[in-house]
Amino acid sequence: MWSLCFLFSLSDLILVFASSAKHLCPPDQRDTLWEFKSEFSVQELDSSWWESDLKTERWRNNTDCCSWDGISCDSKTGTVVELDLWDSSLNGPLRSNSSLFRLQHLQSLNLSSNNLPGILPYSIGNLKYLRVLKLRYCNFFGKIPSSLGNLSYLTDLDLSVNQFSGELPDSMGNLNRLSELQLRYNNLGGNFPSVLLNLSELTQISLSYNKFKGMLPSNMSSLTNLEYLDINGNLFYGPLPSPLFMIPSLIQLNLEGNSFSGPIEIKNISSPSNLEVLSLGENNFDAPIQGSLSKLAGLRTLELNYMNTRIMVDLSFLSHLKSLSYLDLSGNDLKFSSTLRLPYLGFLYLSSCNIVEFPKFLQSQTRLLLLDISVNQIEGKVPEWFWRLEISRVNISQNYIRGFDGSADVIQRTGGVVTLDISSNAFREPFPLLPNSTNYLFGSDNLFSGEIPRTICDLVYLDRLVLSNNNFSGSIPPCLSTYLSVLHLRNNSISSVIPEDFISNMLISLDLGYNRLSGGLPKSLINCTRLQFLNVEENRISDTFPFWLRVLPNLEILVLRSNEFHGPISSFSLPKLRIFDISRNKFTGVLQSDFFAGWGAMSLPVVYFEGDSQYRFSGVGKPYYHASVALTNKGSNMKLVGSGFTIYKTIDISGNRFQGGIPESIGLLKELIVLNMSNNAFTGRIPPSLSNITSLQSLDLSQNQLSGKIPPEIGKLTFLAWMNFSYNRLEGPIPQGTQIQSHNISSFAEYPELCGVPLQKTCGGGEGAINQEQEDEDEEKDQVLSWTAAAIAYLPSVFCGFTLGHILTSYRHDWFMRI
């Protein structure tokens, strides 16, 4: 046995000892799990997740499925009772005859955060012992199957963030044990589901961001155990539903983002009320707030943002809410009286309230942790007394503030600021001295000039620095390349070269676009293994293509546009790349036929996870910022900001000196939205594989040397709203398709040999011409088949690389990936 120590790692030893114990997993359960695994494309990824064939075989010999991660079994019978495959890279529909439904003893099933596009099978109702069912973020669509009503033991149901539509099935009224129901972010509709009113065990209901409508039922108080109700972002209307306030167990109530109207008046209320969180914002209430709201003495959070102006006339009721800590009055036209007294708050949001000066009542808010008074009309300077409050998170952005009262170190002396957002104001020098506690500093869109102050290097806890759209000059302080996760210095007048010593593995986003930087792109960026966003557009950088970037597993956006990059580009793999812009440089050479084969993210559909874009490029929580990129789309320049990073998948290699044919592998990028290859020297035919890019909306192949016919298959691209084939050597008929025929003739300019709508020239030719055209099409299809066969062999390894980093850091689902 000791000799095994020299053959296996410690983890392998554990596996060997475990396999020698009594197997709890019956063979039929193990085989069913194997079969379920084989139903998804994840089976093609296995080989890259093992270090050797020997190790693979040892995993296969571990027949006790109860020891596999994510699996729990009954201690007596060995039957599988829990299956947790959250975020396991499953890809493909859940079949109605799936082997999953043979696991009859399952009590808990979690398939959340997988790509399972399709209808949730009726067979789900066969798992009659389920107590927990979580299918969040799975891309399911269609109606919720009525068979869910068969799951009479169910206590926790989560179908959030899918595309379910229609009304809830009446059969859900049979779920008498149901305690938690999560249906947010779907397309469900109809009136409030009356079937829920009979489920007396319900403690949590989330129906937010659907299409429910109508008035809430008058007997909502029948939900006697309800603690949490969220119907935010629907189409409910009518008066404030007072019966809800009669539920003694209710703790959180979110009615925000609907069309409730009338007075905010609570006629009946349970005594004592346990309500702690109340959100009424973004409704149509049309009368001043009544004093009955002050009866909610235990209220800790109150959101009255973006309400009708008339209801905010009198804020005196707030003084009665002694427990209140979080108050959001944003989006209202507020007039603060000199006698206003607020309870001691921790979080106060007064954004977009037409405030013209710093509210004086703030002087008594000595417990304030966060203040947001952004997007107002505050002029002058920040008063010196303000910093004595020692607020840790301050957002005063988008005002007309021009400086700070007091000495240069007035903020530094407080020592409490963690987040400071002064962006979009009129600040000038001197740049404020900040305390060492500063973690986030946002100062973009001001009037700062001169060199970036070296005092920033003293902020040892600084994590995010955004100083874009100012007039800073000089060089980038080397210290900024060592510890930040976000560094944005876009649109300044910074010259010199980019620092060579990027050593931080924390860097996520780097935007140095629109400056005067020269030299090369520092290779030390390979240390930044978390880098997702890299933008150096519109500079004077002279370098060859940075192939070493392929070692960055998380890079999603790469913009080298409008520089002096040069030389050829060979094939490389960046599996998460979604935006690739190298336009207006001096790249040369021929793109290999497999050039696009390693770009897996552009082949897969967008799965939007709530908060993704804000986390990736905006930081976490308020205040946040957005990265931006200038793109050419549909022939026009546009600025991509915020959620566009999640949605857009673009390639722009225009304005270079590429030659040879357009790589057939372009057809692998089925989810590409914008493709611009104009202003190069591409030759040969337009590849028919372009027709595989079914999401394509904008295509520009103009000003090349392409010849032959435009592939007729392109006429089937129904989303293609803009295209440009002008200034090439194309001939023959223009493909038939409404989106093509509706284009201006300028899209086909300088084509004497083209014919058909929208051109005036009609197409002629006899049988011989037709036969020749058919032969050409057959030849092109053979080429496509040849390339597809090669791609099938290549793509699994690409996808393996895409997920390898995840596996090295997470072992939640090892059994699923290794068996």
Asked if 382 contacts 403 with a C-beta cutoff of 8 angstroms, the reply is yes
The predicted model gives 658-672 an average pLDDT of 95
Residue keyed to tokens 């530094």:
412
Q: Comparing C-alpha atoms, which of 298, 226, 224 is closest to residue 207?
A: 226
- Residue ranges with strand state E in 522-617: 533-535, 557-559, 566-567, 579-581, 586-590
3-class state of residue 688 by DSSP? helix
Tokens standing for residue 779: 């030849």
Q: Give the length of the chain.
A: 819
The whole-number pLDDT of residue 771 equals 41
The predicted model gives 634-648 an average pLDDT of 64
Tokens standing for residue 547: 């192939």
The predicted model gives 446-456 an average pLDDT of 96
| Residue 121 or 612, more confident | 121
Residue 502 binned pLDDT confidence (cut-offs 50, 70, 90): confident
Q: Maximum CA pair distance of the chain? A: 92
The whole-number pLDDT of residue 801 equals 38
Answer yes or no: is pLDDT of 749 > 80. Answer: no
The predicted model gives 236-252 an average pLDDT of 90
The whole-number pLDDT of residue 146 equals 96
Domains of the chain: 27-157 (3.80.10.10), 568-606+636-762 (3.80.10.10)
pLDDT digits (tens, 9 = 90+) for 170-223: 999 999 999 999 999 999 999 999 999 999 999 999 999 999 999 999 899 899
The predicted model gives 18-30 an average pLDDT of 66
Answer yes or no: is pLDDT of 231 > 90. Answer: yes
Cα dist from 609 to 113, 154, 578, 626, 648, whole Å: 9, 26, 16, 17, 15
DSSP 584: S
H, E, C per residue of 221-249:
HHCCCCCEEECCCCEEEECCCHHHHHCCC
Tokens standing for residue 806: 């995840």
The whole-number pLDDT of residue 783 equals 47
3-class state of residue 526 by DSSP? helix
The reported pTM is 0.82
The whole-number pLDDT of residue 241 equals 83
Tokens standing for residue 708: 């032959």
Low-confidence winner among 44-48, 213-217, 692-696 (lowest mean pLDDT): 44-48
The whole-number pLDDT of residue 756 equals 79
Percent of the chain exceeding pLDDT 70 equals: 80
Answer yes or no: is pLDDT of 16 > 70. Answer: no
DSSP state string for 130-198: -SEEE--SS-EEEEPPGGGGG-TT--EEE--SSEEEEPPPGGGGG-TT--EEE--SSEEEEES-GGGGG
Answer yes or no: is pLDDT of 746 > 80. Answer: no
Residue 612 binned pLDDT confidence (cut-offs 50, 70, 90): very low
